[in-house]
Amino acid sequence: MSSLFGTDGIRGLANEYPMTSEMAMKVGRAVAYFFNRKEKGRPKIIIGKDTRISGYMLEYALVSGICSMGADAYLAGVLPTPGIAYITASDADAGIVISASHNPFYDNGIKIFKRNGFKLSDEKEAEIEKILLSDEISSICRKIRMTGGVYRIDDAGQNYIDFLLSKVPKNFCQGLKIVIDCSNGATYKVAPELFVRLGAEVESLFNNPDGKNINKNCGSENTSELRKIVLGKHADIGLAFDGDGDRLIAVDEDGNIITGDQILAICAKSMKKKDQLKSNTVVSTVMSNMGLDIALNDMGVKHIKAKVGDRYVLESMIHSGAVLGGEDSGHMIFLDHQTTGDGILTALKLIEALKNDSKPLSELVKIMNVFPQVLINVEVKNKPDISSVPKITKAIKAVEKNLDGQGRVLVRYSGTQPLCRVMVEGPTQKITEKYCQEIADTIGRVVQEPL
């Protein structure tokens, strides 16, 4: 894994390394150089963003780098990440999204799509990093006189909406009452418009971004207000997207949270019933709840677990021939329809399952029993190999011995933040919380100080 790129592109505090204007310009140059494979004409690079205030700063820096290498930058404005993937695959050489997904507004990030709409592999990201950190690209740039142009894509949002509309019948949501939490992020325009056009009665929440309120007490990470409104409005379903619109967490008509793993189980059953579950396989990650294992096994569906990160889910899907995969966080990939996680498309697929079974969401979700799961994020200043720290491995083994097959432990570092994630599943909530805290306390004592 390269040093700049994490599990989902480059990410960090805006205006601090590596999320600075200077680095963004270098990324723009490197991307333009890397994707300049045309025999004729200029490379065309799409840029989209979420609603963070720092998005403008990074957007203009990227544009400067792209144009300085003789490539053209096409600005899609605020648009969900999957929308940029779709537009890139339609007519571009590369796509760049400026977003830190579900993180607070003061973070930002850069993720890159190839011309086919797929994210880059670790190897390709490492190549781009090598280019942008080298002195050679500056000397190449100085020789370019035919610099690139900048163009706006005024209909980017409508193009993405039309793409989503093409996946379902007309008036698909007729008769449904839906509450949408747009997280003051990239879905704030396209999601309400889409569901209204599909015939739903729509109540929209958190759709007034101001650059600083993205993901603030809302969205897929915080559904408390959504649950309250779903119950108050007697809605059929609540939909919570994250800041860049590639994740979905749902709420049923009783106000219960429906996680990504539960959505996977529901969609797997629906797709299998309609003979759409190619390879009879679902891909998730090692973070998935044990309940998903059991649910898929009961369905007779093969379950593959990939490393955490949507790119690794995608790699396993392609390798196995699966068309359904995702993460408990709500990042779902429907490979027959989209090249990356798409929160709005996931919502459409979940509603499709609801309509096909003619049952409320609270009934559909009974297909999976969720094991008590506790996740604690421990802030760290360094990330030594966990297996090389005896005190941590001892704490993990002690908990695993006490669980005695009635749960599991997973400890890993975040690929996008200075955190160590401790996840424990167990037979009861109280026991699970206790064991998870024991491991987290150990890590806090051992890892927190600088080496």
Nearest to 194, CA basis, from 165, 226, 221: 165
Residues 6+ apart with CB under 8 A from 223: 181, 238, 240, 249, 251, 257
For residue 80, the 8-state DSSP code is: -
Is 389 buried (19+), middle (13-18) or exposed (0-12) by CB count in 10 A?
middle
Q: Which of 99, 101, 270, 320 is catalytic?
A: 101
CB 303 within 8 A of CB 378: no
- What is the residue-wise DSSP string for 309-349? SHHHHHHHHHHHT-SEEE-TTS-EEETTT-SS--HHHHHHH
End-to-end CA distance of the chain: give it in Å, rounded.
Answer: 21
- Is 101 labeled as catalytic in the residue annotation? yes
CB 262 within 8 A of CB 252: no
- The secondary structure of the chain in percent helix, strand, coil, rounded to multiples of 5, reads 40, 20, 40
Exposure string of 180-207, with b = 16+ CB inside 10 Å and e = fewer, is bbbbbbbbbbbbbebbebbebbbbbbbb
For residue 367, the 8-state DSSP code is: G
Is 213 buried (19+), middle (13-18) or exposed (0-12) by CB count in 10 A?
middle
In whole angstroms, give the CA distance from residue 303 to residue 291: 12
Residue type, 131: I
In whole angstroms, give the CA distance from residue 27 to residue 21: 10
Nearest to 50, CA basis, from 226, 241, 197: 241
Question: Which residues carry out catalysis?
Answer: 101
